[in-house]
Amino acid sequence: MARLRTRNHKVVLSRSAGGDIGISIFLIIFGLFMFIPMYYVIIQSLKPMDELWQYPPRFYVVHMTFQNFADMFNAMSDSWVPFSRYIFNTVLISVVGTFGNLVCGSLAAYTISKIKFPGRTALFRLVRLSLMFHTTVASIVNYMTMSRLGWIDTYLAVIIPAWGSTLGMFLMKQFMEGNISDAVLESARLDGSSELRTYWTIAMPMVKPGWLTLIVYSFKDLWNMGSSTYIMSEQLKTFNYAVQQIVSGGVARAGVGCAASVVMMLVPIAVFVFSQSQVVETMATSGMKD
């Protein structure tokens, strides 16, 4: 048996140098593969015209400029909708959609995890099942539903379904299960607090990481939404749609395309950075159990 190493009366776990080197090499190579494309988009967005055309392409910028970001607002000039409108649409959809998902999802997560009512297990199993398939399979019937509701070509068609999206709700329920003590809820109920009040004043403040996780996922999905089959009017289309138009506009708009992509990606990344430790905490309770 290997000798047990200790330092300051603590056990030192055995770590071979070879393993350390192998792991570092893996992380560096794979990390570069992940990082370089992102880095390159950012660098390209900061380059002036003449540097964009340098050949072979360079991975640094000499004369940094924000001109591409300014030009972004004129890049969709062949569209009669002002560029800010696309941004407005995406912000509106993301904020209202995420807020609704937070309200509906946390209410459902709370009731299912903390109130013992008949049917809760069956409902949760359905939610869990929904994680196993892509919502594309619902797209045909959804189109029919939307047109019957008269929601085609309105914000409602993209916002309302997001209120019932399941991933955030699922993670929140799993997190609530382990992080809200039933005894506290029980004493609140005995004091005559209604379920809605218990949910809002006692349960919700205890599961802030769960909230943030739901927000991160819901927001990311909505923010990154491109063209939707339900939306035809140009003035209702999203920022991601506009970015794709610019990027596919070809070489003439390379810098602007990168600038738009940077704006596109920085927002969800910022939201994630802000809540990273809480998301990871929530993930510690993620699992497929009932």
Partner 1 sequence: MSDNAKAAAPRKPVARKDMTRWQWTWKEMKRNYAAYLMCAPFFLIFFTFTVGPVVLSIYYSFTVFNLIQPEHFVWLENYMRLIFDDDTFLKAIENTLIFAVVTGPVSYLLSLVTAWFINELAPKIRAVVTLIFYAPSISGGVYLIWKVAFDGDEYGYVNSLLMRYGIETQPILFFQNATYVMPICIVVALWTSLGVAFLSFIGGLQAVDKAQYEAGAVDGIRNRWQEFWYITLPNMKQQLLFGAVMSITQSFGFGDIVTALAGFPSVNYCAWTIVHHLQDYGGQRFEVGYASAIATILFAIMIGSNMLVNKILSKVGQ
Q: Which is nearer to partner 1, 1 or 78 (CB)?
A: 1
Q: What are phi and psi of 7, to 5 degrees?
A: -140, 130
Interaction of residue 49 with partner 1, rule CB under 8 A: no
Helix axes 254-283, 166-179, angle to 10 degrees: 30
At residue 79's C-alpha, the angle toward residues 74 and 83, to 5°, is 45
* Of 48, 69, 43, 45, nearest in space to 58 by CA: 43
What gap in Å lies between CA 37 and CA 218, rounded to an integer? Answer: 25
Q: Which of residues 159-198 bind partner 1 (CB under 8 A)?
A: 160-161, 163-164, 166-167, 169, 189-192, 194-196
State the burial class of residue 164 (Cβ atoms within 10 Å of its Cβ: 0-12, 13-18, 19+).
middle
Give the x-and-dash track for 24-43 against partner 1 (CB under 8 A): --xx--xx-xxx-xx-xx--
**What six digits make up the tokens of 153?**
């070509």
Interaction of residue 52 with partner 1, rule CB under 8 A: no
Interaction of residue 265 with partner 1, rule CB under 8 A: yes
Q: Which is nearer to partner 1, 88 or 200 (CB)?
A: 200
Binding segment for partner 1 among 11-19, 63-71, 80-88, 91-99 (CB under 8 A)?
11-19
Interaction of residue 17 with partner 1, rule CB under 8 A: no
Q: How far is the CB of 11 from partner 1 (least distance, A)?
A: 4
Q: Which of residues 193-252 bind partner 1 (CB under 8 A)?
A: 194-196, 199, 217, 220, 223-224, 226, 229, 240, 243-244, 247-248, 251
Contact between residue 236 and residue 155 where contact means Cβ atoms under 8 Å apart: yes
Q: Please pick, from the candidates 73, 143, 204, 234, the single residue that binds partner 1 as defined by CB under 8 A.
A: 143
Binding segment for partner 1 among 60-68, 73-81, 91-99, 133-141 (CB under 8 A)?
133-141
Binding segment for partner 1 among 62-70, 73-81, 91-99, 279-287 (CB under 8 A)?
279-287
Q: Which of residues 70-99 bind partner 1 (CB under 8 A)?
A: none
Q: How many of the chain's residues bind partner 1 (CB under 8 A)?
A: 110
What gap in Å lies between CA 230 and CA 101, rounded to an integer? Answer: 20
Contact between residue 190 and residue 260 where contact means Cβ atoms under 8 Å apart: no
Interaction of residue 276 with partner 1, rule CB under 8 A: yes
Binding segment for partner 1 among 12-20, 65-73, 76-84, 91-99 (CB under 8 A)?
12-20
Residues 6+ apart with CB under 8 A from 72: 83, 246, 256, 259, 260, 263
Contact between residue 39 and residue 32 where contact means Cβ atoms under 8 Å apart: no
What gap in Å lies between CA 239 and CA 228, rounded to an integer? Answer: 12
Q: Which is nearer to partner 1, 145 or 181 (CB)?
A: 145
Q: Please pick, from the candidates 67, 79, 130, 154, the single residue that binds partner 1 as defined by CB under 8 A.
A: 130
